[in-house]
């Protein structure tokens, strides 16, 4: 997967609180919620790039399987 870009985003505190509550309801981080919202709006506007990496999987990474031997 390509390296993820980092951006500084300044938000009104009330907007941040609303996004944080929504993210908590959806079991996402604020960052993941903002990315989901941006992707959805890009798709709706017909501006989502064709070659876009899928969003990261939600939840914890799978535990490595113990090797048989």
Q: What is the pLDDT of residues 2-45, one digit of tens each?
A: 688 899 999 999 999 999 999 999 999 999 999 999 999 999 99
Indicate the pTM of the whole model: 0.75
Enumerate residues 6+ apart whose C-beta is below 8 A from 30: 16, 19, 20, 23
CA atoms 35, 30, 8, 10: torsion sign: positive
Of the candidates 15, 62, 47, the one whose C-alpha atom is nearest the C-alpha of residue 34 is 15
- The reported pLDDT for the residue numbered 56 is 72
pLDDT band at 1 (very low <50, low <70, confident <90, very high): low
DSSP state of 53: P
């Amino acid at each position: 997967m390509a390296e993820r870009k980092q951006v500084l985003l300044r938000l009104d505190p009330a907007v941040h609180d609303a996004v944080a509550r929504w993210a908590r309801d959806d079991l996402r981080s604020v960052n993941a919620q903002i990315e989901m919202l941006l992707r959805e709006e890009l798709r709706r506007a017909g501006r989502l790039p064709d070659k876009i990496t899928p969003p990261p999987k939600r939840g914890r990474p799978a535990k490595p399987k113990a090797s048989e031997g």
